[in-house]
Amino acid sequence: MAEILMHWNYFSKGWDLDYGFARAREYGYDGIELRMPPDEGLKQALADIKALKQKHELRYVVLARGVDVIHDDESVRRKNVAAMKDALNAVYGPFGPGTIVNCSAGGIKDGSAAAQEVHFERAAAGFREIAKVAEDRFLKIVFEIHMGTIHDTAKSTVKFLDMIGSPACSANLDYGNMFLTPHAEKDVPTI
C-alpha cells in the first residue's frame, strides 16, 4: 500500500511542529510534508524536525522548497542554486539517503503556457547542478505538477525532467493542482 503523508505546509503558521507531528501520528499518516526551514538556522531546525519524527514515530519527512532558477538575473539564479545545494547537504546529515525534497523551479504567471524555452533551459541548467548533489547523497528531488510553474502539466514536467536528465529527479502527481491548469491534459499517460 502506498504511503500517505500529511501536507502540513499551509497549517505551519497556525500551530507548532510538535502539534503537526502529533496529529499526523494520531490520524494514521506515514509521514508529513513540511516547508523547508529558512537557510539561517537550517541545521538546527532539521535536527529539531528529526527529533519530532522520532518522537512521534513517523516513517517519512518530505521537505518542500521552491528554487527560483528561471530568474532573468544570472547572479540570482547562481545564488539560488548554491543555496539549494547547501540545503540538500544539510538535509542529508540528519535524514540520510532516500529523503525526498519536493521542489518547484520558480513561479511564472500562467505556467508552462507562458514559459519560453529560455525558462526551461535556465531551470534545467540549475537543476542539473542541484541534481548532482542529490545523486551523490542518494536524495530524491520531486517536482510537484502544480499551476504557476513551468512544470504545471504532465507534458511540461516530462519535458523538464528530460532536460535535467537525472535519475534523482522525478514528478509528483498532484491531482489537487495539476488539473486546475487550464491547458492541462485530462489524463496523464505521459508520465
Task: Write the pLDDT tens digit of every residue in 169-184.
Answer: 999 888 777 777 777 7
CA distance 67 to 86: 12
Which pLDDT score is estimated for 191? 61
CB under 8 A, 24+ apart: contacts of 83-87: 83/39, 84/130, 85/129, 85/130, 85/133, 86/39, 87/36, 87/39, 87/42
Which domains occur in the chain, in start order? Answer: 5-178 (3.20.20.150)
Neighbour tally for 103: CB within 10 Å:
26
Higher local confidence (pLDDT), 8 or 29: 29
pLDDT at 189 over 90: no
What does the pLDDT read at residue 53? 97
Strands (E) located in 15-84: 31-35, 60-66
**pLDDT score for 63:** 94
What percentage of the chain carries pLDDT values higher than 90?
71
pLDDT band at 123 (very low <50, low <70, confident <90, very high): very high
pLDDT band per the 50, 70, 90 thresholds, residue 97: very high
Residue 60 confidence (pLDDT) above 70: yes
Residue 188: the pLDDT is 63
